[in-house]
Chain A
């Protein structure tokens, strides 16, 4: 077997292994953990905050807090779910500090622009609607959800966590996850339908 093949077939180190190496001062371990989970963490933070700069701040703060308090989670959940919990909390805190609700409010999106929005097609996957307009309408609808539903929704839809993982991340039952997801999507659909005469 060639050296390349041997390297390629080597299994990726587990999170626990990387955390142990990080605790031992291995900077590459932190880099690997960061690359492994930065995108789901960023997607969650971005949806909750609405812009890249704030989302990256939340990701940074989330990684720092998670790694600083490793002893608090070990044995209770996976690093991923713990990280996403901390990142989502950091994003919510940041959003409160920076007036996220106002930023995502309908007024902040601009009255005249709203009037010019194209109606949302009955088929949400239709290509007839500009992507930016669709995204804006989805964000508008998302902003109307209660905070618990928003967090639950993004953990499932953006971080692509299973129901079990969402439950672990938020410390709630799977039934609560299911309930929040159902009613969150129902509210989103109702909101979008009202705006598009569906």
Chain B
């Protein structure tokens, strides 16, 4: 016949011993375990060992982070929450304005590519890569529209940089072609990124082709 726990010969389970060691038993169960341990010194030693182990573990806590470290974590949490609150795809008012800006930038890049002078010939001339790139003459330039762009995230400090409003151009953007623009002079820029260009109106004394 199986005895109920608490009777003299009933051995408490390991789980119950752990609960006893941690003080998680109610009074009756605790008394029953203590009664049993009184006649089983080996198990009592094991319980004491487990308690000592826990005390030793807790006596050596993890080193506490500095106040500055905690502040960084809190700042990171605030930033993470802000980021994730904006992470759901959603439309931002004024996207046509962004699209127009993108289109204008792309158009300028396109013109630069078309007008960029070929490098001086060398012994084994290699065709410049940009000269090889197909430059559409009158092909429509594909840019994103407000239906194609969704801002997923944006840093707080960049919010004020996002221009929102009615786009300045309501008509489709017509891109310039090579024949629409006269460039008198092109020089590499100091920063090496965008070249300097001079159109006839930029020059103080534009050359007169009729003069000898």
Contact = CB atoms under 8 A, between A and B. Distances in A.
B30 interface: no
Contacts of B58: 157-158
B56 A124 contact: yes
A20 interface: no
Given A178-B16, A179-B14, A38 B62 contact: no
Contacts of B80: 60-61, 64
Contact of B50 (A67, A175, A189): A189
A197 interface: no
Contacts of A46: 62-63
Interface residues of A, number: 43
B53 A185 contact: yes
B161 interface: no
Interface in A25-83: 27, 30-31, 34, 38-39, 42-43, 46-47, 52, 55-56, 59-61, 63-64, 67-68
B52 interface: yes
B53 A124 contact: yes
A83 to B, nearest CB: 12
B2 interface: no
Contacts of A175: 15
Contacts of A157: 54, 57-58
A60 B65 contact: no
A125 B55 CA distance: 7
Q: How large is the interface on B (under 10, 10 to 19, 20 to 34, 35 or more residues)?
A: 35 or more
B53 A182 contact: no
A128 B78 CA distance: 45
Given A124-B53, A157-B54, A56 B69 contact: yes
B54 A138 contact: no
B49 A189 contact: yes
A192 B56 CA distance: 12
Given A56-B65, A183-B14, A189-B53, A163 B22 contact: yes
Contacts of B17: 182
A134 interface: yes
Contacts of B50: 182, 185-186, 189
A156 interface: yes
A155 interface: no
Q: Which of B14, B16, B74, B78 has the most CB of A within 10 A?
A: B74
B117 interface: no
A181 B80 CA distance: 35
Interface in B56-85: 56-65, 69-70, 72-74, 76-78, 80-81, 84
Contact of B54 (A34, A61, A123, A185): A185
Interface in A155-177: 156-158, 162-163, 175
A96 interface: no
A131 interface: yes
A185 B21 CA distance: 11
B53 A131 contact: no
A135 interface: yes
A179 B15 contact: yes
Nearest to A157: B57
A182 B62 contact: no
A143 interface: no
Contacts of B55: 124-125
Contact of B73 (A59, A68, A178, A186): A59
Contact of B52 (A30, A34, A125, A181): A125
Given A31-B74, A67-B81, A68-B84, 6 more contacts: A60-B76, A134-B56, A158-B61, A178-B14, A185-B18, A185-B50
13 contacts: A55-B62, A61-B80, A63-B73, A63-B77, A67-B77, A123-B52, A134-B56, A138-B56, A138-B60, A157-B54, A157-B57, A158-B58, A158-B61
- Ordered nearest first, which 4 A-B pairs have the shortest CB separation? A182-B18, A178-B15, A46-B62, A124-B56
